[in-house]
Amino acid sequence: MVKKNIKNKVLEPLFSKPSGIKKQEAKENDNKGLTVKKNEDFSEWYTQIVQKCELADIRYNVKGFLVFQPWSVLSMEKMYCYLENVLQRKGHKPYWFPTVIPESNLKKEEGHIEGFTPEVFWITEAGNNKFEERLALRPTSETAFYQMFGIWIRSYKDLPFKTYQRANVFRYETKATRPFLRSREFHWIEAHCAHASEENAMKQVYEDMETTKEVLHDVFGLPFIFFERPAWDKFPGAERTFAADVLNPDGKVVQQPSTHLLKQAFSKAFNVKFADKDGKDKYVWLTCYGPAVSRIFASVAIVHGDDKGLRFPWAIAPLQVAIVPIVDDAKLMKKAEALKKEIEKFASVEIDKSEKSAGEKFNYWEMKGVPIRIDLGLKDLEAKKVTVFRRDLGKKDLVADGSLMNHLKKIADECGDNLTKQADKIFDNRIKDVKNIDEIKKAIEDGKIARCGFCSVGMDGAKCAEAVEKDVGASVRGTKLEKEKASGNCAVCGEKANYVVYVARQY
């Protein structure tokens, strides 16, 4: 992989950074590890993670678009595999749909197009020819999938009809962009399913939430809470929306996979019907589910990363083992090659053949988040031992050659679980019960999620939600799936509380 430093100055449009750093000082900083602590300046920490770990280059000359570099792509490829394997195991079939969607498709469901029109990239001509109908670069693909569902689905025997595609989508994001978290093109999986009844559709929604737990938490190690979004924050055209919020160490949340029970307006607009057992035509119930892999990757970097750099769960690490000869010696290199041959039977492995000092090599692989580093020195070579550094615990062990492979496999088994347990603690004491707007503000400023009584999660509660956004700079995330009994008054308007909601700042 060709290494290419990204100067701090190119990140200025997206991130704040300390002023007054001269070019030479910036160049020197690029050759060091992280220069800020995560809990002291999170924004700059994330900037340096993207830059120095070579995750993305934002110097592509179209605003809001970035080039994904190998260290992020290798991890995301593995993330895709886990998600797709679970979806296929649960009956979803893979499709590849066109990137363009006719404007007439988008207009068939009014609530949907109204929600997405401000974010659509339009194609109006090709070569010297202007199109009679504009084409949209897909902001999402409901109107593409359901156009075809109306052709493919005929009988109750075709149901449930479970599909998905791996794709990139385009949205003209007008807020400040931030690599992986918020950009104008992101990479995701979207699953679309058709069902014979609302009950079966809701079973699919709950299955989607279970899929999120199986992969995001149990494999990627991300803690989250699923909320049902309030009426004013539902997906355009949805009857009900559920979304997983991952809590960052700085107290903000990142919305991760969401799943939706769609209104039948979609199936009616695209004439998606089936003949039931009694021979009568009925409209299907549709659901959609969207894990955004590029955004999930951001949460992996943020949640597991520390003051020294990235940390990856074993399953999705771009590289699992780095072998570092401490000095340039033929015997050490021969030993490294022999180890590589054994290790690559069960893990991805690379030998560091760079001309950096031993300390620079150690810091580099630690910053890059490789789960295991094997240090080879001449004294250890004579003693038939190696030094093994594990990134999850930040500790070294001196291991005899004969037991090395079993030792590495043990770390591989433990690494993901250790990071998950550490990440789960982020939620410890982070939810604060509050009774009024001042207490909400205090909880949010302290980096917590506020839990409070609320008058309504229907449109009647939208004014109170707007007050929270205006006065606190946070949003009502919704209600937990496990129904909580409300008591007292709404924390905003003072009317009777009928729901318990959660409030947080978000990216």
- pLDDT above 70 covers a percentage of the chain that reads 93
The arithmetic mean of pLDDT across residues 368-390, rounded, is 97
pLDDT at position 75 is 98
Contacts of 28 (CB under 8 A, 6+ apart): none
CA angle 161, 165, 170 (to 5 degrees): 130
Structure confidence by residue, pLDDT tens digits, 119-143: 899 999 999 999 999 999 999 999 9
Transcribe 35-77 into DSSP letters. Answer: -S-TTT-HHHHHHHHHHHTT-EE--SSSTT--EEPHHHHHHHH
Question: Which amino acid is located at 149 in the chain?
Answer: F
User: 3-state class of 356 per DSSP?
Assistant: coil
pLDDT at position 249 is 85
Which two structure tokens, joined as six digits, stand for 424? Answer: 């789960």
Structure confidence by residue, pLDDT tens digits, 448-489: 999 999 999 999 999 999 999 999 999 999 999 999 999 999
Q: Which residues pair with 167 in a beta bridge?
A: 188
Count other Cβ atoms within 10 Å, centred on residue 172.
15
Higher-confidence residue of 14 and 260: namely 260
The arithmetic mean of pLDDT across residues 256-269, rounded, is 96
Which two structure tokens, joined as six digits, stand for 205? Answer: 């929604």
- Measured between alpha carbons, how far is 386 from 383 in angstroms, rounded to an integer? 9
- pLDDT range class, residue 1, cuts 50, 70, 90: very low
pLDDT at position 2 is 35
Report the CATH number of the 431-504 domain.
Answer: 3.30.110.30
pLDDT at position 174 is 77
pLDDT at position 3 is 35
pLDDT at 396 > cutoff 60: yes
Closest by CA to 84, choosing from 75, 74, 94, is: 94
CB 291 within 8 A of CB 208: no
Which two structure tokens, joined as six digits, stand for 185? Answer: 């093109």
- pLDDT range class, residue 204, cuts 50, 70, 90: very high
Contacts of 425 (CB under 8 A, 6+ apart): none
pLDDT at position 30 is 52
pLDDT at position 22 is 39
- Measured between alpha carbons, how far is 123 from 108 in angstroms, rounded to an integer? 19
Query: Which pTM was predicted?
Result: 0.92
User: 3-state class of 228 per DSSP?
Assistant: strand
Total length of the chain: 507
- Measured between alpha carbons, how far is 357 from 188 in angstroms, rounded to an integer? 40
Closest by CA to 404, choosing from 382, 426, 367, 372, is: 372
pLDDT at position 350 is 98
Average model confidence (pLDDT) for the chain? Answer: 92
| Domain residue limits, the chain | 8-71, 73-302, 314-415, 431-504
Q: Which CATH superfamily is domain 314-415 in?
A: Anticodon-binding domain (3.40.50.800)
Structure confidence by residue, pLDDT tens digits, 4-31: 333 332 332 333 333 333 343 444 445 5
pLDDT at position 31 is 56
Structure confidence by residue, pLDDT tens digits, 58-116: 999 998 899 999 999 999 999 999 999 999 999 999 999 999 999 999 988 877 777 77
Structure confidence by residue, pLDDT tens digits, 324-377: 999 999 999 999 999 999 999 999 999 999 999 999 999 999 999 999 999 999
Report the CATH number of the 73-302 domain.
Answer: 3.30.930.10
pLDDT at position 175 is 76
